[in-house]
């Protein structure tokens, strides 16, 4: 994976947010939602992550986003990013995007892709 400062991992999946947290080895602390978004806050390695997506569309038709829950982190620590990608690959998520979501307005974001990881991409080294 590239050394750029990546703050987001995103993909599409039919699995619940709790199932996705389990797949990457994270322990769920909070499950919540509101009129547009649903999310879980989970402990992974030495940070908390936020796994979120809109619940206004079927899960497999919208992006699920994972990002550091702490706003003072400028990017994912490399070992956390490797663990996330490896866990998602193990359950067949393809493709996986690594990069940044840049807020525009309302519920709109621009996606900045640093890397597109597919099934043919070798698994990250731990």
Q: Is pLDDT above 50 for 126?
A: no
Contact, 87 vs 24, CB < 8 A? Answer: yes
Burial 47-70 (b: 16+ CB within 10 A, else e): bbbbbbbbbeeebeeebbbbbbbe
* pLDDT value at residue 116: 95
* pLDDT tops 70 at residue 56: yes
pTM of the model: 0.91
């Amino acid at each position: 994976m590239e050394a750029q400062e990546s703050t987001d991992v995103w993909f599409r999946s039919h699995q619940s947010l709790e199932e996705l947290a389990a797949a990457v080895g994270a322990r769920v602390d909070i499950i919540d939602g509101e009129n547009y978004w649903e999310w879980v806050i989970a402990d992974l390695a030495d940070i908390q992550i936020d796994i979120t997506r809109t619940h206004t569309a079927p899960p497999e038709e919208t992006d699920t986003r994972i990002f550091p829950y702490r706003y003072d982190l400028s990017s994912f620590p490399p070992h956390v990013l490797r663990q996330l990608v490896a866990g998602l690959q193990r359950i067949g998520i393809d493709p996986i995007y690594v990069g940044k979501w840049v807020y525009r307005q309302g519920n709109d974001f621009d996606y900045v892709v640093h890397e597109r990881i597919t099934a043919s991409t070798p698994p990250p080294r731990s």
